[in-house]
Structure 1
Amino acid sequence: MNQDILFADMQTWDSERQAVNFPAQQGGALIHCWVSLAWLEKEYGQILANEAAVLAVFAQHRFDLEDIAETLIEDEEFNVDGDIDIA
């Protein structure tokens, strides 16, 4: 784990974007990381019918998702908004 990239113990469901947002910090800069509902359902083989189910699966796999986001940050795979997307 890269000590320069820190993840807050926070996550929020964005129903418009159909994704979970979880923030990271690198060098003091805030980075919005997103994992899409479609990716979670495909990756973990479950239909996630509501916010509680989505956040439960996110929590269960949080460390793996942070590892993926960390790799994308290190590789500078930012989208046009400067965010990280796991989609």
Structure 2
Amino acid sequence: MNQSILFSDQLEWNQELGMVEFHAQQAGMLIVCLVGLEKLARLNGLNEVAKEQAFECFEAVRFDLEEIAESS
């Protein structure tokens, strides 16, 4: 696993956007990132994810999201 992008452990619910907000760091730069419930559901093989499940679902696919970020 390439670690050029590192996600912080701190997650927040962005009420305005209805998304999980987290931070990543690459080459010393702090990057604000967002992931929606639909994307979390797809990555977890679920039909849908409620906001109450968002952080748990994020953690289940954290490394998948890091790989997606690496390839972008």
TM-score class, shorter-chain normalisation, is: 0.7 to 0.9
Deviation at 1:48, TM superposition (A): 1.9
Written as runs of structure 1 = structure 2, the 5 A alignment for 1:44-59 is 44-49=45-50, 51-59=51-59
Paired with 1:47 and 1:59, the residues of 2 have a C-alpha distance of: 16
CA–CA separation in structure 1 for the residues paired with 2:40 and 2:3:
26
CA shift at 1:5, angstroms?
2.4
Q: Greater strand share, 1 or 2? A: 2
Structure 1: where are the runs of 5+ without partners?
73-87
TM-score, with structure 2 as normaliser: 0.75
| Root-mean-square deviation (Å) | 1.8
Per the alignment, residue 35 of structure 2 pairs with 35
Structure 2, gaps ≥5 residues long: none
Matched, 1:8 2:8: yes
Aligned partner of residue 7 in structure 1, secondary structure: strand
Which whole-Å CA distance do the structure 2 matches of 1:47 and 1:67 have between them? 22
Q: Is the 8 A contact 1:5 1:26 kept in 2?
A: yes
